[in-house]
Amino acid sequence: MKILIAEFANHYKVIENTYRLLKLNCVNSDITLFVNKDKSGKNLRNLIFKNASDAFWRIHKFHTSTYFIHLLFIGHKYDVINISTGPEDPHYSNVFNVFFLYISSILYKNKIILTIKNTRSYLKSTGGIKSFFLNLVINNIKVITFETDTLKNIFHKETGIPLSSLCVSYDRYVDLNSSFERKQNAINFHDKKYKIGLLGAIDEDRRDYSEIINALKKVPPLVRKKLLFITLGNTNGGKENKVLKKLKKLANIDITDGWISAEDFDKRGMQCDLFISPLKLSMEYGLYKGSGTFGDAVYLGKKVIIPSHVDPFFEFKEISLYYNNVESLSKIFINIFEEINVKVDNNFYKKFYTHEVYMKIKKVMIRKGLI
């Protein structure tokens, strides 16, 4: 079977997990990864994608606005086309992309599996020419996947597309982490610091770090001295990053400078006792937009401190420490020893193994006649 994974947004961590999901479970498959040219100059593909050298790549070398024109011309060569991330960004140049994705969805409707990250872009209620065409696209495509059940179910209610066409691919898989251990032992922190991983890039547009800073101000100094925050994503400016400089006045921080490799993410992440990601309500994470937060937590087998609005139906309650405001977040920091030592039932992780995910998606594909 010839499979094309089309990743328009160049999310290399996402595309690696999709690639390995199929490599491990789809026997006799020939997989091609189709991405835009990396303009960062930082060789992110090899930095973030551990197995980049093992994969076969097709690079779209022209302007990104012509990406789906390119797909239109090469799609006939493949049996299955997984659009890992579509033209969801609101940038005006995507007018061309959404139109040619619409044409592709007509021509290759029996081949395409669409993974939706931002459901807002595909809704009629969103308005605009781009959402108009994307809404037409989802009515042509037979199989659509999401990063969570919550996103899938809300999308179903908003669009009326039957659940029989929808499935969950998740974001990360526990069996792809060689260091993952389901065996959990009680942790003694009396002679060490509580290590809290800051998930994602240090990005004030997506995350409200003032919540962490204001919560720490309500934590007794002796407890704050026990806290060590560890950066796990792109930290533009390193130690000079203005967010981290504010945070460093209240707690210890282990800071990297710039992007970190996939290997360093695993190493630093496994050192953490739990994670935190103060995602903003205005960004609609959880309801209409996916986030790598839960995927990272699942992959590394850690709990995560998260605003309650990110998981409105408590899909990840087993690994989540929810907060609603600064006061409730400060209580989590104060009681962090007890929070970490509450064990997670190993059954929670079973659905995040590649074989389990693949078999569920395969059943939908068979039912819809894609294979």
CATH number of 140's domain? 3.40.50.2000
As a whole number, mean pLDDT of residues 105-130 equals: 95
Residue 154 and residue 184 share a domain: no
Tell me: the pLDDT tens digits for 60-86? 999 999 999 999 999 999 999 999 999
197 and 105, same structural domain? Answer: no
Sheet containing 274-276: give its strands across: 252-254, 227-231, 194-198, 274-276, 303-307, 320-323
More confident residue, 175 or 50: 175
pLDDT for 301 beyond 80: yes
pLDDT of residue 235: 92
Which of 171, 111, 166 is CA-nearest to residue 143?
Answer: 166
Rounded CA-CA distance 189/272 in Å is 12
Segment 258-273 shows an average pLDDT of 92
With bands split at pLDDT 50, 70 and 90, how would you rate the model's confidence at 192?
confident
pLDDT bin (cut points 50, 70, 90) of residue 186 is very low
pLDDT at 180: 60
The two structure tokens encoding residue 35 = 């991405």
Asked if residue 123 has pLDDT above 80, the reply is yes
pLDDT at 190 over 70: no
- The predicted structure's pLDDT at residue 185: 44
**Residues 45 and 149 placed together within one structural domain of the fold:** yes
Angstrom distance (rounded) from CA 122 to CA 26: 29
Given a cut of 70, is residue 181 above it in pLDDT? no
Residues 155 and 44 in one domain: yes
Residues 210, 128 within the same domain: no
Query: What's the structural domain count of the chain?
Result: 2
**What is the spatial distance between Cα 181 and Cα 178, in angstroms, rounded to a whole number?**
8
In this prediction, residues 20-40 reach a mean pLDDT of 92
104-108, 340-344, 363-367: least confidently modelled range: 340-344
pLDDT of residue 183: 44
Looking at the structure, do residues 343 and 199 belong to the same domain, yes or no?
yes
> Model confidence at 50, in pLDDT bands (50, 70, 90)?
confident
pLDDT at 184 over 60: no
Amino acid 191: pLDDT: 52
Q: Say yes or no to pLDDT of 265 above 80.
A: yes
Average pLDDT, the chain: 92
Residues 113 and 194 in one domain: no
With a CB cutoff of 8 Å and minimum separation 6, the contacts of 331 are 323
My answer on whether 106 and 220 are in the same domain is no
Does 58 lie in the same domain as 146?
yes
Look at 338 and 33; give whichever has higher pLDDT.
33
Higher pLDDT: 47 or 188? It is 47
Indicate the range of 123-127, 182-186, 201-205 predicted with least confidence.
182-186
On whether the CB atoms of residues 45 and 73 are closer than 8 A, the answer is no
Q: Are residues 15 and 137 in the same domain?
A: yes
- One domain for residues 210 and 276: yes
Which range marks the domain in which residue 208 is found?
176-348
Give pLDDT, residue 41.
Answer: 72
Is the same domain home to 154 and 57? yes
Mean pLDDT throughout 189-200? 82
